[in-house]
Amino acid sequence: MRLADQTLKYLSVSLLVVIALWSTVFYLFMLEVIHDNIDEELENQKRLIIQELSSNPTVAPDLEFGINNYKVREISEKQALKMQNEYKDTMLYMQDDDDPEPELEPVRMLTTAFEHQGHYYELAIINSMIEESDLIKNLFYSVVILFVLLVISLISINKVVIQRLWSPLYSFLDQLTGFRLGKTGDKPAMKTKIQEFQDLQLAVHTLIRHNEETYEQQKQFIGNASHELQTPLAIMINKLEIMVEAGGLQQEQSETIAEVLNTAERLVRLNKSLLLLSKIENKQFLENEDLVFNNLVENTVVEFEDLAAFKRVKICVVQEGLLRVQMDNSLANIVVSNLLRNALFHNREDGEVKINMTGRLFIVSNTSWHGPLDANRIFSRFYKADASSKGTGLGLAIVQAICHLYGFELTYHYENSQHSFQINLHP
């Protein structure tokens, strides 16, 4: 999850909690204000009723709430002394002008006691809560709507603000993603007044500068080492070939020179392979283009027909779909040729090499007399299943390095006496 989205997520949750608590407190506060107003009104009615009853010589108990919304009943002095003003919400049957029958309606009731001419009475006064109930309901809906609108507004504003604040960083990261040592001219940069972003930019520029210096030194070393090795090897091979062509050598001497020639040629191949590996790992091959793997495989198979005929191995190509990929053409050729050469050299007579292609998979399988290879070491440098092999042991390591460079999935498995290498070019 992006940093801005993560920030907005935590901020939104915090806002929801804070505003929800604030809305609840506000609603309860307003509810308390409404009840206080009703209770004050009930208190005024109580004084007026007691004043009116005190003017009468006797108090006639009312068994039900009458038109004045109060009732009185006589109680003992002990009960009266214990009684205090009590306010509560309750439901009573009441009949309005538009009601055919009495219905349960919400009311606020005040229960109190008073003394009149030596007698003690309980006074219960009610006040209809119908209008207040509607008011409370409307207040609740208003608070909910206000809560939703406030949350949406705050989240929207924060999203815009956060995106604006973090946009220089995202632009900087995009530039870093596309930056390549030795390929990209301008360093990633961002225009910002935020101190932390400026510090990050400075640190990245310093790191890039150090990497560029190391990269140039390493590239120069590889080039120099390759040249210094190639030159003496070429001279040695040339002189050995001249000695053989000059003649006059004994058979034992000729065999010795032939062995030295083979060793020198192997050193040349090894030097080229190591140089290629270094260039791949340094990402010096990134001239990507849209390639059709099917055409590349067909051309490579044609180039290996003579070797296949010599090894008496049949090459079968099965195309189940068009396999397109964005990659460097030379590296794609190396992948196909290394896997195909490996399948031919480690095959048996009258064996078969099968190449399968789908819309995303490239699979090379070959028959063999040998059992499964060590899956944990097969892509390691200089690994050889057969110690007597004259190969460099770098072919599959180079294939793996190219796959890592482009994020391809390279796997090996052995089944039915066949070795199979599979590359998923669109994982």
Q: Which of 352, 375, 368 is nearest to 422 (CA)?
A: 375
> At residue 103, does pLDDT exceed 80?
no
Query: Is residue 161 in a domain?
Result: no
Give pLDDT, residue 131: 65
Mean pLDDT along residues 42-67: 73
Query: Is residue 189 in a domain?
Result: no
Tens-digit pLDDT profile for residues 314-364? 999 999 888 888 888 888 888 888 889 888 888 888 889 999 999 889 999
Query: Is residue 64 in a domain?
Result: yes
Query: Is residue 329 in a domain?
Result: yes
Same domain, 23 and 143: yes
Same domain, 13 and 110: yes
3-state secondary structure 84-117: CCEEEEEEEEECCCCCCCCEEEEEEEEEEEEEEC
Same domain, 56 and 144: yes
Give pLDDT, residue 105: 74
How many domains does the chain contain in total? 3
pLDDT-above-90 percentage for the chain: 4
Question: What is the distance between the alpha carbons of residues 98 and 216, in angstroms, rounded to a whole number?
Answer: 95
Question: What is the distance between the alpha carbons of residues 331 and 280, in angstroms, rounded to a whole number?
Answer: 9
Give pLDDT, residue 124: 87
Residue with the larger pLDDT of the pair 250 and 397: 397
Same domain, 258 and 390: no
> At residue 394, does pLDDT exceed 60?
yes
Last residue of a domain, one of 239, 256, 281: 281
Q: Which of 135-144, 267-276, 317-326 has the highest mean pLDDT?
A: 317-326
Tens-digit pLDDT profile for residues 207-253? 888 887 776 776 677 666 666 677 777 777 777 777 777 777 777 77
Which amino acid, 417? S
Same domain, 227 and 343: no
Last residue of a domain, one of 103, 126, 153: 153
What average pLDDT is seen over the chain? 79
Query: Is residue 185 in a domain?
Result: no
Same domain, 361 and 299: yes
Same domain, 217 and 266: yes
Same domain, 207 and 106: no
Q: Which two tokens stand for residue 280?
A: 């791949």
Burial class (CB within 10 angstroms; exposed 0-12, middle 13-18, buried 19+) of 173: middle
Q: Which of 289, 291, 285 is nearest to 357 (CA)?
A: 291
Same domain, 144 and 226: no
Query: Is residue 182 in a domain?
Result: no
Query: Is residue 158 in a domain?
Result: no
Neighbours of 95 (CB within 10 A): 11
Report DSSP state, residue 326: E
Query: Is residue 387 in a domain?
Result: yes
Q: Which of 105, 38, 34 is nearest to 65 (CA)?
A: 105
Report how far apart the first and last C-alpha atoms of the chain are (Å, whole number): 21
H or E element at residue 197:
helix 195-246
Domain extent, residue 406, equals: 288-424
Residue with the larger pLDDT of the pair 61 and 343: 343
Q: Check if the beta carbon of residue 250 is closer than 8 Å to that of residue 185.
A: no
Last residue of a domain, one of 123, 153, 183: 153
Q: Which residue has the tokens 């030379």?
A: 330
Neighbours of 296 (CB within 10 A): 19
> At residue 63, does pLDDT exceed 60?
no
**How many residues does this entry show for the chain?**
427
Same domain, 137 and 85: yes
Tens-digit pLDDT profile for residues 246-262? 777 777 777 787 777 77
> At residue 202, does pLDDT exceed 60?
yes
**Neighbouring-strand partners of residue 111:** 86, 124
Q: Which two tokens stand for residue 211?
A: 């990497």
Q: Which two tokens stand for residue 5?
A: 């989205």
CATH number at residue 389: 3.30.565.10
Q: Check if the beta carbon of residue 364 is closer than 8 Å to that of residue 418.
A: no
Residue 67's pLDDT band, with cuts at 50, 70 and 90, is: low
Question: What is the distance between the alpha carbons of residues 231 and 239, in angstroms, rounded to a whole number?
Answer: 12
Same domain, 200 and 336: no
Strands (E), 95-211: 103-116, 119-128
Same domain, 117 and 212: no
Question: What is the distance between the alpha carbons of residues 54 and 77, in angstroms, rounded to a whole number?
Answer: 17
